[in-house]
Amino acid sequence: MSTHNIALAPLVQGFFHDWLIKQRGLSAHTVRSYRDTWKLFLRYSADRHGRPVAKLGFRDLGAPEVLAFLDHLERDRHTGVGTRNCRLAALRSFFSFVATREPLALAQCSEALHIQLKRSTKRPPSYLEPQEIEAILRQPDRSRVEGQRDHTLLSFLYNTGARIQEALDVRIQDVNFAKPFCVRLLGKGRKERVCPLWPETVVLLRSLLARQPRGDEQRIFVSRYGEPLGASGVRFKLAQYVAEARKAVPSLAQKRVTPHTFRHSAAVSLVSAGVDVTVIRNWLGHASLDTTNLYAQANLATKCAALELVEPPASRPPRWRRDPGLLEWLDSL
């Protein structure tokens, strides 16, 4: 049986509109992630087959194309294993969708669905030390509204540990400007959580909104024209601030700093402060405690503090031998 007559466009449209949005109700962020994967995959496949995207058929998107695309991501686009696996998950979801609707495509779908996720060594997340964060926060020119916005946004990211898109989606009505200061965040899987805010963060937010007034239902962090900010634009500006901050704090040259680094830094700071990992999990919106535990592993200062509580072997006599008062008291029994 052949898949030559199976049109691709209706399947892709049905996958996004009927399956992802209507039936599964995935968040706009997840849909955008899947969309970006498919834009990359279709362009790559078109180049591979030497024809425009509009001329591709379903038969052109088999397991060999998926494997070649994944190799292309790692080799040419220098994508990490985590991102590679996310792209594969988006593609496998599509083939699973097609398998239930096109019996003739079952064999082709099965081959693609058998492509495995790539294993990788889990490294502790990279994070910033307090002096590095302070150096970055000093860079935005707060005399200009864009600089004040950037300073407030970066401070907000460190305070809340929010993902960048979670922060950019925050509206004025999501913030409680009266005590207890807090903000409602909408995370992955449409899960809501509430994060406390420092009074200093609330002052920054109030000052920004006084300078750039917004309606209660509008987003707080916007462009100079009042349009929503994009995550890529924030990454670009942050890279400029980090480049300047390196002149004062050379240790930043050894780190790749993104908006997500502020999330890691917030988590490690909570660990350092002795906050229970289950509280940190709820604070950051982690689905699994295993993810949160990575931050406990990452913090060297916390490990050193724990080591101070343990005596090395044969370094000093046992504590009871170093207390002559206790020995005398025992001899008197």
- What 8-state DSSP symbol labels residue 220? S
How many distinct helices (H) and strands (E) make up the chain? Answer: 15, 3
In whole angstroms, give the CA distance from residue 197 to residue 184: 10
Q: Facing residues of 53 across strands?
A: none
Is 295 among the residues known to form the active site?
A: yes
Task: Round the CA-based radius of gyration of the chain to a whole number and report it.
Answer: 26
C-alpha to C-alpha distance for 145 and 171, rounded to whole angstroms: 18
Which one of 149, 263, 264, 281 is the catalytic residue? 263
Sequence-distant (6+) residues with CB within 8 A of 12 are 38, 94
Catalytic status, residue 190: no
Query: What is the C-alpha separation between 308 and 330, in angstroms, rounded?
Result: 29
Q: At what angle do helices 106-113 and 63-75 cross, to 10 degrees?
A: 30
163 flagged as catalytic = yes
Q: Which of 226, 231, 180 is nearest to 201 (CA)?
A: 180
Residues 66/115, Cβ–Cβ less than 8 Å: yes
- The catalytic position among 87, 163, 219, 264 is 163
Bridge-based pairing state of the strands 192-196 and 175-176: unpaired
Q: Which residues contact 150 (CB under 8 A, 6 or more apart)?
A: 140, 234, 237, 238, 241
**Cβ(41)–Cβ(53) below 8 Å:** no
Active-site residue, from 49, 92, 171, 260? 260
Is the previous residue joined to 180 through a cis bond, with omega within 30 degrees of 0? yes
For this structure, is 44 an active site residue? Answer: no
Task: Report the Cα–Cα distance between both ends of the chain, in Å, rounded.
Answer: 94
Catalytic option among 72, 188, 193, 255: 188
Query: Is 260 among the residues known to form the active site?
Result: yes
Residue 129's identity, in one-letter code, is E
Instruction: Indicate if 188 belongs to the active site.
Output: yes
**Catalytic residue list:** 163, 188, 260, 263, 286, 295
